[in-house]
Amino acid sequence: MKPSEFYKIRRPEYFSDSEIINEVVLPREVLAYELSIISTNQKQDEFETLCRRLAEKFITPNLIPQVGPTGGGDGKTDSETYPVSIAVSDRWFIPENGWDKDEKWAFAISAKKAWKGKAKGDIKKIVET
């Protein structure tokens, strides 16, 4: 082996043609377990941030996070859209039925196990506002 090849193996970041690939493997079972104990570990704020970031990436990027108390008294929404100009929103990559200029969307995020009842209650409260 040439010294240059050895050095390239030891320090690939110093070579422009090297590609460093970092992969994190998260088995489905581990994710399911972590999600099942998210409230027990008091990580609902991190879960809410993850959900909002995913919504910003795949639904609409103009989301305001909730401010104020969590777990009740949070204004019924965990995130909502804010108005932006068409010149800005036209450059977004969002689905065809994505955010429109005059619409206001609300997002409710919950780590509760009994999520169906919670979702129905949150939707009712959001519509009533």
Q: Is the predicted pLDDT of residue 29 greater than 90, yes or no?
A: yes
For the residues of 37-98, what is the DSSP string, one character each?
A: TTTTTT-HHHHHHHHHHHHHHHT-S-EEEP-S-SSS-STT-SEEE----HHHHTTS---TT-
Tell me: the pLDDT tens digits for 34-61?
A: 888 887 888 888 888 888 888 888 877 8
- How far does the chain reach from its first CA to its final CA, in angstroms? 71
